Amino acid sequence: MNPSRQSVKLSRLAKVGDGIDAMPSGWSFGGDTPKHFEAHIARSVPHYAEGHKLIEQISEFFVRRDSVVYDVGTSTGNLLRRLSERHAGGPRWIGIDVEEAMINHARAEQAARGGSRSVEYVVADACDMAFESCDLVISYYTMQFVRPRQRQGVFDAIYRALNWGGAFLLFEKVRAPDARFQDITSGLYVDYKLEGGYTAGEILEKARSLRTVMEPFSTQGNLDLLGRAGFVDIMTIYKHICFEGFLAIK
Q: Which domains are present in the chain?
A: 45-175+216-249 (3.40.50.150)
pTM: 0.91
Note the pLDDT tens digit of each residue in 14-25: 787 767 777 888
Nearest Cα to Cα of residue 17 among 38, 33, 40, 35: 40
Give the single-character DSSP code of 161: H
**116 or 178, greater pLDDT:** 178
Note the pLDDT tens digit of each residue in 159-176: 999 999 999 999 999 999
Q: Which helix (H) or strand (E) holds 87?
A: none
pLDDT above 70 as % of the chain: 93
SS3 69: strand
Using only the alpha carbons of the chain, give its radius of gyration: 18
Mean pLDDT of the chain: 90
